[in-house]
Amino acid sequence: HFFPNISSIPPNLLKPNATAWDAFNKLLGCHSGQTVDGLAKIKKYFHYFGYINNSSSNFTDDFDDTLESALKTYQLNFNLNTTGVLDAPTIQHLIKPRCGNADVVNGTSTMNSGKPPAGSPTMHTVAH
């Protein structure tokens, strides 16, 4: 569907449409140790974009260590506070439209999470 410019868009499209990821809003505040309906979908999301390296697509609704680790990596990559909790800024970011290419490929990310922490030495030197 192509529109030449913004003024040509029908008014009914000016409202937010439901997308596959809007359901993530109900997961606000979820954290490690909980079992909440819908967490399996967010695991699928993280699997799709490379944050969960699991060949199985059968995900549970448990907020387990795998999900917490994936969430922290995601938060680091997108400059969010690495709380490991599905807080409001993280949820707002998760539902944004985005490129379908993965952020993490073969378990390796070269976004923020694949770089050394700020302040750590990036070059080893030996005194003579």
Partner 1 sequence: YSFFPGRPRWPANKRDLTYAFVPQNGLTDDIKIVFTRAFDRWSEVTPLTFTEIASYQSADIKIGFFSGDHNDGEPFDGPMGTLAHAFSPPAGHFHLDGEENWVIDGAPIVDGNFFSILSAVDLESVAVHEIGHLLGLGHSSVEDAIMYPTLGAGTRRVELRNDDILGVQELYGSNPNYTGPNPNLTPSRGSDTNGAPKFG
Binding site for partner 1 (CB under 8 A): 1-6, 9, 13-17, 19-21, 77-79, 93, 96-101, 103, 105-106, 108-112, 114-115, 118
Q: CB neighbours of 1 closer than 8 A, spacing ≥ 6? A: none
Q: How far is the CB of 101 from partner 1 (least distance, A)?
A: 5
31 or 93, CB closer to partner 1? 93
| Cα–Cα nearest to 77, from 111, 110, 117 | 111
Residue 75: what residue type? Answer: Q
Q: How far is the CB of 84 from partner 1 (least distance, A)?
A: 18
CA atoms within 13 A on the CB side of 21: 15
5 or 55, CB closer to partner 1? 5
Q: How far is the CB of 28 from partner 1 (least distance, A)?
A: 19
Handedness of CA 93, 98, 100, 102 (dihedral sign): negative
Q: How far is the CB of 93 from partner 1 (least distance, A)?
A: 7
15 or 124, CB closer to partner 1? 15
